[in-house]
């Protein structure tokens, strides 16, 4: 049975959640420590009590002035990390977090030097071989192609917002630049567009979204079928269902075809002909209890596109956060099989949303359904269907996910979740059960602005308003015995003669943390 279409808010929830939370706390208290102050490390020795490693990293590179906004960019083929802040783009060596270079983009708007006129960098992308830097530039967004021979200016609209506090996102994929940013100074006309590159400039139809906040976009590759590749983007928008008890916001996944060049001349020219959207569900469908506020997204790509997974972080109106996991295969099933909301006639061929090489030759009937009814009736459910993967009272704001090869050659997913108070939680995805491995305090009281995972080097770089810090994900030295090492259930670490970075055949028991594996060998000191 399909749940009702609206979402309950606080008065109803308080009753409903009390019962639910009691059960949940009982469950959670076994798998993770819930206290706000985690200075006390749980006692070791029982399988049911996790070894929660707590540490502090206060080192880092401090800015001379506090930054209100920062963006990270790391090209795939380089060890350099670019950090865009007010007036500057800094380059760092990711390995040692050493300062390499800076590009000075100060004073591009000479008339004004106060906030909000400051030139705050909002977008860094690689466009072909050049580094593209866009900044709010005192309400006159501007992009520069940075090169040693001098900076070239562009007046491209729709890449940078007018102020860093406005919503925006960017994606460089297959030779094209996609971006979402308002095209008006008041923040309106916020859209997801293709803005530069080899293919046509394409934008959205005005009625498709309502007051959106774009969170993330990703191209999902299909090695065997490149013309069918799609760009998925994730956002939240105003809920069009006007019920006083309904949550005002709703979270979405949408997609467009990479090969979409817009409709024919005179009808839907330069507009996406393949745009479809669906509701992204995270919560308890049986109870109609949902986390509706999408906060952050991390896509873990797989060789086979069907196995590509989307990790989505949500908050709720009752201030809990949740992580739900989706597969691209399940998302595609909805887009390929669902009916179209508000349309009950026969679905024309080709089916609206199909990727075709020449989108300008699509028939009117197909395009007009995309124009008028792009919303899927079916919803996208998480792979765990009946409940979120992980729920917490911590106010998480960012997520990244690392795939880690354990000593038995199996791969495990590690979620790295950042709170608004400078903590990073390292959470193991043990089947359908979350397990908190460690908590690291990286900043005393500021919220994470940007986060970048270096999976090869097993490092996480985190940007705050006051500094940039790196967190080593392989902190195995902290575990002093085989038992501690195994109880940690940390796929980055295994026991040999000491607890060390995982080696093939090292002693480890990720799924159960069962210390019996230690007795089969002589213990270290």
Regarding 109 and contact with ligand NAG (CB under 6 A), the answer is: no
Taking the complex as a whole, the smallest distance from the CB of residue 207 to ligand NAG amounts, in Å, to 28
Taking the complex as a whole, the smallest distance from the CB of residue 513 to ligand NAG amounts, in Å, to 9
Which of 168, 170, 278, 397 forms a contact with ligand NAG (CB under 6 A)?
Answer: 397
Which of 29, 46, 104, 497 forms a contact with ligand NAG (CB under 6 A)?
Answer: 104
Pick between residue 57 and residue 173 the one whose CB is nearest to ligand NAG.
57
Give the separation between CA 425 and CA 21, rounded to whole angstroms. 21
Q: 405-424: which residues touch ligand NAG (CB under 6 A)?
A: 420
Q: Which of 233, 208, 229, 237 is nearest to 310 (CA)?
A: 233
Regarding 444 and contact with ligand NAG (CB under 6 A), the answer is: yes
Segment contacting ligand NAG (CB under 6 A): 65-73, 75-83, 243-251, 303-311? 65-73
Segment contacting ligand NAG (CB under 6 A): 62-70, 132-140, 369-377, 490-498? 62-70
Give the separation between CA 300 and CA 290, rounded to whole angstroms. 24
Segment contacting ligand NAG (CB under 6 A): 60-68, 74-82, 190-198, 346-354? 60-68
- Listed in sequence order, the residues at least 6 apart from 184 whose beta carbon sits closer than 8 Å to its beta carbon are 162
Which of 29, 514, 519, 521 forms a contact with ligand NAG (CB under 6 A)?
Answer: 514
Burial of 78 (0-12, 13-18, 19+ CB in 10 A): exposed
Which of 35, 207, 319, 361 forms a contact with ligand NAG (CB under 6 A)?
Answer: 319
Segment contacting ligand NAG (CB under 6 A): 100-108, 204-212, 244-252, 495-503? 100-108
Structural tokens at position 347: 């679905």
Give the separation between CA 461 and CA 124, rounded to whole angstroms. 16
Angle at 192 between CA 187 and CA 196, to 5 degrees: 105
Give the separation between CA 258 and CA 271, rounded to whole angstroms. 13
Segment contacting ligand NAG (CB under 6 A): 155-163, 210-218, 272-280, 507-515? 507-515
Q: Which of 177, 109, 172, 101 is nearest to 137 (CA)?
A: 109
Regarding 10 and contact with ligand NAG (CB under 6 A), the answer is: yes
Which of 447, 455, 481, 500 forms a contact with ligand NAG (CB under 6 A)?
Answer: 447
Regarding 432 and contact with ligand NAG (CB under 6 A), the answer is: no
φ and ψ at residue 269, rounded to 5 degrees = -65, 135
Pick between residue 199 and residue 351 the one whose CB is nearest to ligand NAG.
351
SS3 annotation, 406-455: CCCCCEEEEEEEEECCCEEEEEEEECCEEEEEEEEECCCCCCCCEEEEEC
Give the separation between CA 286 and CA 521, rounded to whole angstroms. 48
Pick between residue 97 and residue 511 the one whose CB is nearest to ligand NAG.
511
Handedness of CA 206, 210, 214, 218 (dihedral sign): negative
Q: 322-361: which residues touch ligand NAG (CB under 6 A)?
A: 333, 337
Site for ligand NAG, rule CB under 6 A: 10, 58, 65, 67-68, 86, 104, 106-107, 115, 118, 318-319, 333, 337, 395, 397, 420, 444-445, 447, 509, 511-512, 514
């Amino acid at each position: 049975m399909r749940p009702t279409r609206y979402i309950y808010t606080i008065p109803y929830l308080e009753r409903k959640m009390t019962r639910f939370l009691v059960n949940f706390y009982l469950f959670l208290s076994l798998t993770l420590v819930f206290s706000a102050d985690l200075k006390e490390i749980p006692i070791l020795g029982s399988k049911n009590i996790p070894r929660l490693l707590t540490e502090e990293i206060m080192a880092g590179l401090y800015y001379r002035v506090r930054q209100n906004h920062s963006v990270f960019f790391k090209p795939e083929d380089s060890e350099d990390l670019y950090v865009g802040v007010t007036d500057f783009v800094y380059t760092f060596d990711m390995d040692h977090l050493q300062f390499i270079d800076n590009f000075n983009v100060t004073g591009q708007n000479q008339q004004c030097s106060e906030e909000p006129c400051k030139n705050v960098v909002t977008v860094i992308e690689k466009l072909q071989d050049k580094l593209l830097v866009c900044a709010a530039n005192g309400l006159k967004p501007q992009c520069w192609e940075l090169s040693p021979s001098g900076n070239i200016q562009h007046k491209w609209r729709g890449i940078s917002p007018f102020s860093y506090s406005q919503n925006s996102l960017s994606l460089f994929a297959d030779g094209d630049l996609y971006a979402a940013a308002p095209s008006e100074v008041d923040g309106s006309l916020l859209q997801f567009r293709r803005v530069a590159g080899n293919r046509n400039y394409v934008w959205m139809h005005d009625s498709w979204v309502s007051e959106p906040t774009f969170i993330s976009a990703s191209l999902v590759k299909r090695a065997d079928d490149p013309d069918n590749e799609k760009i998925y983007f994730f956002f939240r928008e105003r809920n069009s269902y006007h019920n006083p008890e309904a949550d005002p916001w709703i979270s979405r996944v949408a997609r467009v075809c990479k090969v979409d060049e817009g409709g024919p001349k005179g009808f839907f020219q330069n507009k996406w002909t393949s745009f479809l959207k669906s509701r992204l569900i995270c919560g308890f469908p049986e109870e109609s209890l949902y986390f509706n506020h999408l906060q952050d997204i991390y896509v873990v790509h797989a060789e086979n596109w069907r196995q590509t997974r989307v990790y989505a972080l949500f908050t709720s109106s009752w201030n809990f956060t949740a992580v739900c996991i989706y597969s691209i295969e399940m998302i595609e099933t909805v887009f390929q099989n669902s009916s179209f909301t508000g349309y009950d006639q026969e679905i024309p061929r080709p089916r609206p949303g199909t990727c075709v090489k020449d989108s300008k030759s699509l028939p009117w009937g197909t395009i007009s359904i995309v124009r008028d009814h792009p919303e899927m009736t079916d919803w996208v459910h998480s792979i765990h269907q009946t409940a979120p993967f992980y729920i917490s009272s911590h106010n998480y704001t960012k997520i990244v996910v690392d795939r880690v090869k354990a000593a038995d050659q199996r791969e495990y997913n590690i979620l790295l979740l950042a709170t608004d108070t400078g903590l990073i939680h390292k959470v193991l995805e043990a089947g359908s059960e979350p397990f908190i491995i460690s908590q690291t305090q990286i900043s005393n009281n500021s919220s994470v602005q940007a986060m970048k995972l270096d999976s090869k080097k097993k490092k996480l770089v985190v940007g705050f308003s006051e500094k940039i810090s790196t967190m080593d994900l392989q902190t195995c030295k902290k575990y002093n015995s085989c038992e501690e090492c195994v109880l940690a259930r940390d796929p980055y670490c295994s026991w040999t003669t000491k607890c060390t970075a995982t080696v093939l055949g090292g002693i480890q028991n990720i799924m159960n943390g069962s210390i019996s594996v230690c007795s089969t060998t002589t213990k270290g000191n």
